Amino acid sequence: MNEWQPMLRHVAEVMPLNADETESIRTAMLAEAAAPRSTVDSRSHAGTLIGGVLALAVAAGLVAARSIEPAQVTSEPDVSQPAPAPPTENLRHLQFATPGGTRIIWQFDPQFSLREQTTP
Amino acid sequence: MAFDATTAQVETDTAQRLTALFDAHHRRLYSLAARMCRTRDDARDCVQETFLRAARHPGSIPVGASSEEAWLVRVLINICRDGWRRQAVRNQAQIEPERNDPGHEDAVIARSLVHMALDRLPPRRRAILVLYEIDGTGIQDIARMLGIAPVTVRWHLSRGRAQMSAILMGKLR
């Protein structure tokens, strides 16, 4: 056992509550039990009010977020369909967009002909 | 009319239950509070506040002697802890007891030193040490009262003993 433990027990001896003190606490407790709970009610009203305001704020935020979302979606390129080719005269194009939004246009040369390769 | 009679009956039942609760537990609670608080007045205030909270929320007190005692002890420790925190803020610059002052008796000095050492422990550890070392409460019972695992109680006890030893033996040398 540590040396401080007997000292702790020795100094911790308690003089009990006297009869007046005991009765005083008991009376206060019973008076509190009989008292109307007005403070609790007002707190719960305040809590309801704050909760309502928060709920309204969240709802407003959701509505605002939804109204912004479509604009963002329409700005995205449609990668499922090939992009329409710009009007050209005799040139042939093939163009499409990558998922990252990069638009690629292949232009076919009408004059192009495959030469026969000659062996040296 | 019937509503009034029912309300009156509920109030009577509550008062009876609170009175029984007070009679059954106030001595033990005061004994515990007196060992955790610096002064007798602080201890009495903590006990009174505990029973006032019981009076405000009688429906939250569990049924059964053991459970209601655990509930009251938890409330008491929380109240003491709030008091210690306020006290700690007030006592930031408090001067430690003068051991050389011939006007102080040994017992007063020893009590002051023990309380000073207890004050330096974290609130939960202090409560566990007081419950175990002074009050004689078992580890399982402390764990149940505080709603923590027995292994946590043992850990706090071990750390608390080491801290008390270091603080008190350092002061007494």
Nearest alpha carbon to residue B76 among B38, B114, B39, B29:
B29
Residue B55 to residue A25, Cβ atoms within 8 A? no
DSSP reduced 3-state for B40: helix
Q: How many domains does chain B have?
A: 2
DSSP letters spanning A22-70: HHHHHHHHHHHHHS--HHHHHHHHHHHHHHHHHHHHHHHHHHHHHHHHH
Alpha-carbon torsion, ordered A41, B22, A13, B73, to 10 deg: -50
CB B154, CB A52: distance < 8 Å: no
Domain that holds residue B170: 101-173
The alpha carbon of residue B46 is apart from the nearest alpha carbon of chain A, in Å, by: 11
pLDDT in the model for residue B88: 63
pLDDT class of B149 with cuts at 50, 70, 90: very high
**Among B37, B65, B94, which residue terminates a domain?**
B94
| Residue with the larger pLDDT of the pair B67 and B84 | B67
Distance CA B130, CA B125 (A): 9
Work out the percent of chain B whose per-residue pLDDT is above 90.
Answer: 23
> Average pLDDT of each block of 10 consecutive residues along chain A (120 residues)?
67 77 91 72 67 86 74 54 59 82 84 69
Residues A51 and A71 in one domain: yes
* Distance set, CA A38 to CA A34, A102, B60 (Å): 12, 67, 19
Count other Cβ atoms within 10 Å, centred on residue A17.
21
In a domain? residue A4: no
Nearest to B30 among A4, A10, A17 (CB): A17
Residues B85 and B167 in one domain: no
Residues B12 and B77 in one domain: yes
Residues B147 and B165 in one domain: yes
Residues pairing with A104 in the sheet: A96
pLDDT in the model for residue B135: 80
pLDDT class of B5 with cuts at 50, 70, 90: low
Domain that holds residue A100: 78-107
Residues A85 and A69 in one domain: no
Residues B74 and B127 in one domain: no
| Residue with the larger pLDDT of the pair B77 and B168 | B77
Residues B5 and B89 in one domain: yes
ipTM of the complex model: 0.71
Residues A71 and A85 in one domain: no
Q: How many domains does chain A have?
A: 2
**What residues of A are in contact with residue B165 (Cβ under 8 Å)?**
2-4
